[in-house]
Amino acid sequence: MTGPAAHDFSPWTFPGAASPAERRRQGAHLDELRTAHPGWSLGDGVFVSEHAGVDADDLTLGDRSYIATGAYLTGSLRIGADCSINPYTVVRGDVHLGDAVRVGAHTSIIGFNHSFEPGVEVFRQPLTSRGVRIGSDVWIGSHVVVLDGVSVGDHAVLAAGAVVTKDVPAGAIVGGNPARLLRWRVQPASAAPSLHDDLRRFADTARADLPAILAASATDDGFRDRAGAASSLRALCDAVELSDLLTAEPPPGGSRDEWVERIAGQQRPHTGLMTDAASLWDDPEAAYGVLSAGYALDLLGAGFRHPFVDVADDAAAVVARLDDLPWTDDPWRAGHHVDAFGTALRWSRRRGDPVAPGTAEALFGWLALRADPGTGMWGSARPDEGLRLVVNGFYRASRGTLAQFGVAPAHPEAVIDTVLRHARDDRWMRPDRRDACTVLDIAHPLWLTRQTGYRRAEVRELAGELLRHALTGWREGAGAAFRLDADDPGLQGTEMWLTIVWHLADLLEASDALGFRPRGVHRPEPAPL
């Protein structure tokens, strides 16, 4: 498209591309507007399409601002410098825009409302107006609706299609219907530096203390979780996780190859498990071995040496296994086995082992179709437990399946509703009763569903409160205990609380201050093939 029509639809092209004739025509049109509306103020370098419906009672249009074709403007309007009112945008009522506000096509900014009391047709009732106030450097996408009474702070972004019914803070990015906070373009000055500084100090302390933590846990044949405990495979794998997380190196006391041999050498060739159990579906310890050993080997640049017998099950057998898990009585245990099976399936695909056709589809199809639409999870609440085991079971089942394969939950908003409801249960979530498991059960599902933006303000508020508490639990030179107020810090508690801190900080867009990102069992990205 060339000529005057191109400038009507794309007014930003006018200053650099308009011909002398086009400039004379636009100048004449602006002169006509000034003459017809002596109270209007049209700044230098403005553009107003001849095909825009500008019928304002009062109009201020700042320097270099433009109004494109098809736009419809009425009421008392004050538009700052360098603003754009794009094609087919509607701006009506008492509306003020700051400088550098860019408004996408087909957006409506409505600074008035109808009364709608019963008994009289709406069109016969009086209009009310509180006005719309939009700050400077605001980007408003296409097809946005901003309703009367709304104020939008400087530097905000209103995502395409948003229906904005409440005030938007400065620097916020909002979207959805009704619009909710998605994240921050500019973090509020009152909160960001303090939180980032606290996270940096926490991470620096953890790195400085790691050698002492590992030394206190080292044994002649590996690592123990804490003082008085026996050496274990899980403790060794936690040491690998922690050392990789904070130093990107294997733990002291052995070379990378030596630690690989120590872990991989425990795998049973005939089952692929790290214990003598016949199946990971039957033995919780066997399931833990698949989880902890697999990710530790991955961090060491290695992998399992033998295939898993359990992934040889065909689709029907997988469905039968899932049906037989104790979802009603013990959703945690059920989720634990799903976590391990999904992880075994991931490592099997990495190794290139044969997997029965339809196995993955059976697993993920069962999880999608059997999720309760009311809770987004599997299993049932119990009077003596509330939602604790249901939420824990969801975290466990989704961690090794949905999270590691990049599959979205079937009912993400219901998941958020359930987690937020559980977070109010003081039987488990009162600060003096929290442990690493109960908090990770909340942090991970909220992180997994964060892209919905659903109940975002409440999620952020909860994440901030849990994060502040988590940062208080570090013991100098010793790490963190599984339960923050306990006196037995160890490798498991330290690994889990560092993971919790990262996920909560990321929900608050502040995880970059930590300088680390989980790469093992709690990695936020799908595990690579």
Q: How many residues does the chain have?
A: 529
From first to last of its 529 residues, the chain has per-residue pLDDT tens of 444 477 888 888 888 888 899 999 999 999 999 999 999 999 999 999 999 999 999 999 999 999 999 999 999 999 999 999 999 999 999 999 999 999 999 999 999 987 776 778 888 888 878 889 999 999 999 999 999 989 899 999 999 999 998 889 889 999 999 898 888 888 776 545 588 899 999 999 999 999 999 999 999 989 999 888 999 999 999 999 999 999 999 999 999 999 999 999 999 999 999 999 999 998 888 888 898 999 999 999 999 999 999 998 899 999 999 999 999 999 999 999 999 999 999 999 989 998 889 999 999 999 999 999 999 999 988 888 899 999 999 999 999 999 999 999 999 999 999 999 999 898 889 888 899 999 999 999 999 999 888 888 899 989 999 999 999 999 999 999 999 888 899 999 999 999 999 999 999 989 989 999 999 889 888 877 6
Residue 489 corresponds to which amino acid? P
Alpha-carbon distance of 523 to 529, in angstroms, equals: 14
Please indicate whether residue 306 is annotated as part of the active site: no
Partnered with residue 421 across adjacent β-strands are: none
pLDDT of residue 190: 54
Alpha-carbon distance of 77 to 93, in angstroms, equals: 7
Q: In this structure, are residues 78 and 89 in contact, taking their beta carbons and an 8 Å threshold? A: no
Alpha-carbon distance of 124 to 384, in angstroms, equals: 57
pTM: 0.67
pLDDT of residue 189: 62
* Three-class secondary structure of residue 503 per DSSP: helix
Question: DSSP labels for 396-458?
Answer: HHHIIIIIHHT---SSHHHHHHHHHHHTT-HHHHSGGG--HHHHHHHHHHHHHTGGG-TTHHH
pLDDT of residue 529: 67
pLDDT of residue 383: 84
pLDDT of residue 2: 46
Residue 251 corresponds to which amino acid? P
Place of tokens 């989980």: 518
Q: In this structure, are residues 453 and 182 in contact, taking their beta carbons and an 8 Å threshold? A: yes
Task: Considering the candidates 7, 29, 51, 96, report the single residue annotated as catalytic.
Answer: 96
Hey, what domains does the chain have and what are their CATH numbers? Answer: 4-184 (2.160.10.10), 190-220+411-521 (no CATH)
Kindly give, in sequence order, each residue whose CB lies less than 8 Å from that of residue 31, ignoring residues fewer than 6 positions away.
none
* Three-class secondary structure of residue 84 per DSSP: strand
pLDDT of residue 48: 95
Q: In this structure, are residues 309 and 277 in contact, taking their beta carbons and an 8 Å threshold? A: no
Other beta carbons less than 10 A from residue 39's beta carbon:
10
Alpha-carbon distance of 321 to 217, in angstroms, equals: 38
Alpha-carbon distance of 90 to 86, in angstroms, equals: 9
- Burial class for 487, CB neighbours closer than 10 Å (0-12, 13-18, 19+): exposed
Place of tokens 């306990």: 486
pLDDT of residue 1: 45
Which DSSP symbol is given to 386? B
Partnered with residue 386 across adjacent β-strands are: 382
Q: In this structure, are residues 443 and 392 in contact, taking their beta carbons and an 8 Å threshold? A: no
Other beta carbons less than 10 A from residue 484's beta carbon:
21
Q: In this structure, are residues 138 and 98 in contact, taking their beta carbons and an 8 Å threshold? A: yes
Alpha-carbon distance of 512 to 101, in angstroms, equals: 30
